[in-house]
Amino acid sequence: MDLLWPGFLVVLGFIPIAIAAYVWRLRRKQPSTLRFSSLTLIHQALPPSSRWRRHLPFALFLSALASLIVAAARPVTVVSVPGGQATIILALDVSRSMCSTDIPPNRLEAAKASALSFIQRQRSSTQIGIVAFARTAELIQAPTSDVELLQDAIESLVVGRRTAIGSAILRGLDAIAELDPNDITRIVGIEEKPRHPKSNLAVTGLYIFDSKVFDFIRQIRPSERGQLEITDVNNLYIQAGNITWAKLDGFWSDAGTFDSLYRTNVYWARKNLGAHKERELTSF
């Protein structure tokens, strides 16, 4: 266990001083004398007393004070937990107080540097989202593993009025809740010609890429077939959280054999030209 502010533990030295002062006060207390007409009456009126009970309030006070001092020292510990793919939401304060220069060059720039350093230390499979909060909290970057997108989101932060910490926490929880592991529309991976497919969905081969595709192509390596697989590129988009897809209903055929090519022609003849063209193709 470590302490973020260990200097606060110096205050624990006041506890022995408080105990010594308490004992000194008890010893200097002067006994008082009162006159009563009947000692039996006084004995019956007095409640049963305990030697230690009168010191219990002071002992509880010292215990609470010691706990408060240790808590002020901010004890922390690092616990390793098993995990495959983690999702982290960074909530960054962008209120005007972040313009303060008590941390050079200012609080906002120091927070940006800490956030970027944190992102660089994470695994490539870790999904990170960015929430900025001032008067309101906004999700400025959905959870993604694309470091460039995260850097652009952090560097574009500007300050605003007020501070809504509670809203930032709620918005971060909402962003994580949106990543439903049971959502059947969420792509978790694409396999190249699997022997045992995990679903009945197939990639049709119609892709629309942005300019980042060239960066992803530089990251992939030839497969066992000695080819650069477009599936590997698509999986990098999945890891970055930047892929969308649409289900296409209807007829599908690879047209890679004579039989499949024939079936494809018959299908389009029936669909576009009518049944009589289908009979012509069949007789041919």
Label residue 73 by pLDDT band (50, 70, 90). Answer: confident
Of 133, 160, 177, the domain-final residue: 177
Q: What digits encode the pLDDT tens for the residues 235-270? A: 888 877 778 787 777 777 777 788 888 888 887 777
Overall domain count for the chain = 2
Q: Is the model's pLDDT at 21 over the cut of 70? A: yes
Residues 6+ apart with CB under 8 A from 147: 119, 120
Q: Identity (one letter) of the amino acid at 191?
A: E
Pairwise CA distance, residues 7 & 187, whole Å: 50
Q: What digits encode the pLDDT tens for the residues 204-213? A: 888 889 888 8
Pairwise CA distance, residues 163 & 178, whole Å: 24
Of 140, 162, 177, the domain-final residue: 177
Residue 252 within a domain: no
Query: Higher model confidence: residue 32 or residue 271?
Result: 271
Residues 70 and 111 in one domain: no
Residue 36 within a domain: yes
Residue 34 within a domain: yes
DSSP letter, residue 51: T
Residue 94 within a domain: yes
Of 32, 56, 76, the domain-final residue: 76
Q: What digits encode the pLDDT tens for the residues 134-154? A: 877 888 887 888 888 888 889
Domain of 30 in residue numbering reads as 2-76
Pairwise CA distance, residues 130 & 124, whole Å: 16
Residues 29 and 106 in one domain: no
Residues 158 and 104 in one domain: yes
Taking the whole predicted model, whether its pTM rises above 0.75 is answered as: no
